[in-house]
Amino acid sequence: MNTFHDLGLNEDLLQAITDLGFEKPSEVQDKAIPILLNSETDLVALAQTGTGKTAAFGFPMLHKIDINSRTTQGLILSPTRELCLQIANEMKLYGKYCKGLNVAAIYGGASITDQAREVKRGAQIIVATPGRMKDMISRRLVDISKIEYSVLDEADEMLNMGFKEDITEILSHTPEDKNTWLFSATMPKEVAAIAKNFMHQPQEITVGHKNEGSKNVTHEYYLVNARDRYQALKRLADANPDIFSVVFCRTKRDTQKVAERLIEDGYNAGALHGDLSQNQRDLVMKSFRNNQIQMLVATDVAARGIDVDDITHVINYQLPDEIETYTHRSGRTGRAGKTGVSMVIVSKSEVRKIKSIERIIKKAFEKKDVPNGMEICEVQLMSLAKKVHSTEVNTDIDAYLGDINSLFEDTSKDELIKKFFSVEFSRFYNYYQKASDLNISGSFDESRSGESNSKSTRYFINVGKKDGYDWMSLKDFLKEILELGRDDVFKVEVKDSFSFFNTENELKEKVLAFFTDFKHDGRFVNVEVSENRGRSGGGRRDRGRGKRRDDRKGGASSGGEHKKRRSDNKSKPRRSNSNEFASSRPRRSRR
């Protein structure tokens, strides 16, 4: 493998590389940099997240532009504000010895005048998000008519986020004969189309297989009942005391809820989703970067900008709707040469998706058991023992040693150790000694053959044709208010004044809880499990049937029932980091 020197970069850049501590080029850098330095060509480069793509296009761009000119020559488009800022910062670091270099970052949510001023200063390179860039072009605050190099970074994400039109519009303001370098982790059809329509005979490099996950990530799944999802999450966290993780949920609501429960239960957790203000999101990300948050619960969209290198675990609390999204989630760990684990908590009804994911990432999942209570106690105990063993002694304790010694005068070393560790151990032991086994049997193959009606629940809902619904509009309505995915509501059957629909059993609690006092157009919408098994099973009823008309009382009281049923979650034990002798000191940094 080459050194950076072999690749042909100039002295200023090599000096910066030494400062950054990059010893040798990563694979994508090794492949892309010589091509970009030595030829005027378009390029499509496919490589996983965390493989060093920024430097793969950043160094060649810095090498090739004319620093003495104040014309904008390079344009880098990236999907999110976070990435945009991150790339701009990296470019400044790479170019720290290039005298006269100006890099401007252009993104939404900040002053457009300030950004225009940055550009005016003579920015040779602009790093931008598509939305704000388009805005600035239409207000004539930027001139990209002399661009020589344009980069589409994380092209798959930009298209996912609906920036296709913006990108098209932006590129139409750039010269025909510029070079375009497209970087992407995956190659869906949409990216291939961009390459075809906007690029001229691009050279193509691929690191690993297309759409393949990072080599450094192992994949595990845990099969549990849907109602045990949260308990399983806690056990996975407790079994990994030094976990530093992103926990993915499907909806903003679930994200918020899971984060809140974790915090209540004493974990260092935080939520990241689109309903938070930019300011709140910045704060959460700051705490995560400082390791004050160990479990960042996030939606897929919000997690796109996460650029933290040492994430140990990605936990799929729920699987994503789109299987491709899994690649992005798991790519948040195993970055920069480190290893990582991607865990999936899966219920029987969706375990078959694991197989489809395996096909896409071309790697096998390992089916693992959720650790039982005693295993967790052991892990926690040994982790504490190691921590004590490696703790530096605080000599200020010397002053109290006399008193402490006299207290333990008659205590042997063994006994002292036992007592000392019991402080921590008993907490976990008491919580976990009666803990049940959360694992259920079955694999995706078994579950596939057992795929039957009994896994879905049929509901009655008191709206129908009279209210203007047909099956399609009712399905859309339900999906939207319940924040469900494409196929989560099915077998919708609309009658005159009422209707039926199905969901997977695991969504039952959510559906019923949602409709406990839901009003639409000024009237209560009542949903109950239907006893009508004819259509698809629907399962046992826990409440009476036959409430075929508006029945407010029924709806409200059944809501109370559901809430009661759900409130039996215990929340002990508190997280080890939030008490033990750690509680009074500032956050330890992991490792």
Quote the least distance from Cβ 53 to ligand ADP, whole Å: 3
Binding site partner of 72, from Mg ion, ligand ADP, none, Cβ cut-off 5-8 A by kind: none
Binding site partner of 51, from Mg ion, ligand ADP, none, Cβ cut-off 5-8 A by kind: ligand ADP
Q: Which is nearer to ligand ADP, 336 or 374 (CB)?
A: 336
In a 3-state reduction of DSSP, which class is residue 250?
coil
Check binding of 53 to Mg ion (CB under 5 A).
yes
Check binding of 455 to Mg ion (CB under 5 A).
no
Q: Which is nearer to ligand ADP, 185 or 223 (CB)?
A: 185
Quote the least distance from Cβ 105 to ligand ADP, whole Å: 15
Binding site partner of 58, from Mg ion, ligand ADP, none, Cβ cut-off 5-8 A by kind: none
Q: Which is nearer to ligand ADP, 29 or 316 (CB)?
A: 29
Q: Which is nearer to ligand ADP, 300 or 488 (CB)?
A: 300
Q: Which is nearer to ligand ADP, 181 or 221 (CB)?
A: 181
Contact 123, 114 (CB under 8 A): no
Binding site partner of 26, from ligand ADP, Mg ion, none, Cβ cut-off 5-8 A by kind: ligand ADP
Binding site partner of 52, from Mg ion, ligand ADP, none, Cβ cut-off 5-8 A by kind: ligand ADP
Quote the least distance from Cβ 509 to ligand ADP, whole Å: 38
478: nearest Cα among 547, 537, 527? 527
Q: Which is nearer to ligand ADP, 45 or 302 (CB)?
A: 45
The dihedral built from the CA positions of residue 465, 468, 472 and 476, taken in this order, carries a sign that is negative
Quote the least distance from Cβ 261 to ligand ADP, whole Å: 31
Instruction: Give me the residues that bind ligand ADP (CB under 6 A), please.
Output: 22, 25-26, 29, 47, 49-55, 307, 309, 335-336
Quote the least distance from Cβ 539 to Mg ion, whole Å: 47
Which stretch in 53-61, 137-145, 295-303, 497-505 sits in contact with Mg ion by CB under 5 A? 53-61
500: nearest Cα among 451, 556, 548, 468? 548
Binding site partner of 309, from Mg ion, ligand ADP, none, Cβ cut-off 5-8 A by kind: ligand ADP
Helix axes 53-64, 11-20, angle to 10 degrees: 150
Write down the residue that tokens 């994380």 correspond to: 154
Quote the least distance from Cβ 569 to Mg ion, whole Å: 39
The DSSP secondary structure of 295-335, one letter per residue, reads: EEEE-TTGGGG---TT--EEEESS--SSTTHHHHHHTTSS-
Binding site partner of 329, from Mg ion, ligand ADP, none, Cβ cut-off 5-8 A by kind: none
In a 3-state reduction of DSSP, which class is residue 496?
coil
Distance of alpha carbon 538 from alpha carbon 12, whole angstroms: 69
For residue 490, the cross-strand partners are 502
Contact 194, 307 (CB under 8 A): no
Distance of alpha carbon 83 from alpha carbon 307, whole angstroms: 8
Q: Which is nearer to Mg ion, 48 or 124 (CB)?
A: 48
Binding site partner of 55, from ligand ADP, Mg ion, none, Cβ cut-off 5-8 A by kind: ligand ADP
Binding site partner of 78, from Mg ion, ligand ADP, none, Cβ cut-off 5-8 A by kind: none
Dmax (CA) of the chain: 86
Distance of alpha carbon 293 from alpha carbon 60, whole angstroms: 36
Q: Which is nearer to Mg ion, 184 or 218 (CB)?
A: 184
Q: Provide the 10 A C-beta neighbour count for residue 59.
A: 28
Quote the least distance from Cβ 329 to ligand ADP, whole Å: 14
Q: Which helix (H) or strand (E) holds 435?
A: none
Which stretch in 46-54, 250-258, 293-301, 532-540 sits in contact with Mg ion by CB under 5 A? 46-54
Check binding of 304 to Mg ion (CB under 5 A).
no
In a 3-state reduction of DSSP, which class is residue 420?
helix
Quote the least distance from Cβ 305 to Mg ion, whole Å: 10
Q: Six-digit token pair at 200?
A: 């001229």
For residue 75, the cross-strand partners are 126, 150
Quote the least distance from Cβ 91 to ligand ADP, whole Å: 11
Quote the least distance from Cβ 288 to Mg ion, whole Å: 18
Count of chain residues binding Mg ion (CB under 5 A) = 1
Q: Six-digit token pair at 36?
A: 């970009």
Q: Which is nearer to Mg ion, 103 or 295 (CB)?
A: 103
Q: Which is nearer to ligand ADP, 235 or 335 (CB)?
A: 335
Distance of alpha carbon 300 from alpha carbon 248, whole angstroms: 7
Which stretch in 6-14, 50-58, 132-140, 573-581 sits in contact with Mg ion by CB under 5 A? 50-58
Q: Which is nearer to ligand ADP, 51 or 347 (CB)?
A: 51
Instruction: Write a three-state SS string for 60-87.
Output: HHHHHCCCCCCCCCEEEECCCHHHHHHH
C-alpha distance from residue 457 to each of 46, 191, 488, 541 (Å)? 43, 39, 11, 10
Q: Six-digit token pair at 367?
A: 């089916």
The residue number with the shortest CB distance to Mg ion is 53
Q: Which is nearer to ligand ADP, 25 or 202 (CB)?
A: 25
Q: Which is nearer to ligand ADP, 24 or 572 (CB)?
A: 24
Contact 501, 493 (CB under 8 A): yes
Distance of alpha carbon 496 from alpha carbon 467, whole angstroms: 8
Quote the least distance from Cβ 336 to Mg ion, whole Å: 11
Distance of alpha carbon 96 from alpha carbon 90, whole angstroms: 10
Quote the least distance from Cβ 94 to ligand ADP, whole Å: 10
Distance of alpha carbon 306 from alpha carbon 419, whole angstroms: 42
Question: What's the first-to-final CA gap in the chain, in angstroms?
Answer: 31
**Binding interface with Mg ion (CB under 5 A):** 53
